[in-house]
C-alpha cells in the first residue's frame, strides 16, 4: 500500500476515536501524555487490515508487514486557553 492511502486509512480510522473519547479530552485538559492510549487504539484499528501487528518490536511502537510506526504526541508544556498551566517541580 502506498503512503497516501495508508495515511488516509489511519486518519479515517482514528478521527472518530479521537473525537469521541471523553477520556482523551480529560487528558488534554490536564496536559497528560496519551501516547500509550494512542498506540492501543491505532493497533486496534490497524488489526482490521493487518494480521501481523507487533507492538514494541526493536524499540518501535508498531510494526507490521513492511511498515514501522513510531508515535509521538504533542508536547504537554505548551500553554493553551482552558488548559491547566503546569510546570515541573524540583523536589529536594
Confidence of residue 79 (pLDDT cuts 50, 70, 90): low
Average pLDDT over residues 48-69: 94
Global pTM reads 0.74
Tell me the sheet residues that pair with 22. Answer: none
Element (H, E) at 51: none
What per-residue confidence (pLDDT) applies to 35? 87
Hey, how many other C-beta atoms are within 10 angstroms of the C-beta on 92? 3
Confidence of residue 44 (pLDDT cuts 50, 70, 90): very high
What per-residue confidence (pLDDT) applies to 1? 75
Residue 43 has pLDDT above 60, yes or no: yes
What per-residue confidence (pLDDT) applies to 30? 79
Question: With pLDDT > 90 as the criterion, what percentage of the chain qualifies?
Answer: 54
Q: How buried is residue 46: exposed, middle or buried, by Cβ count under 10 Å (0-12/13-18/19+)?
A: buried
Q: What SS3 class is residue 78?
A: coil
Amino acid at each position: 500500500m502506498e503512503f497516501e492511502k495508508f495515511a488516509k486509512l489511519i486518519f479515517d480510522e482514528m478521527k472518530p476515536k479521537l473525537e469521541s473519547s471523553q477520556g482523551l479530552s480529560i487528558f488534554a485538559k490536564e496536559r497528560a501524555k496519551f501516547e500509550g492510549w494512542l498506540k492501543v487504539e491505532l493497533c486496534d484499528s490497524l488489526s482490521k487490515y493487518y494480521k501481523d501487528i507487533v507492538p514494541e518490536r526493536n524499540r518501535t511502537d508498531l510494526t507490521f508487514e513492511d511498515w514501522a510506526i513510531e508515535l509521538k504526541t504533542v508536547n504537554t508544556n505548551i500553554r493553551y486557553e482552558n488548559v491547566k498551566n503546569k510546570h515541573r517541580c524540583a523536589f529536594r
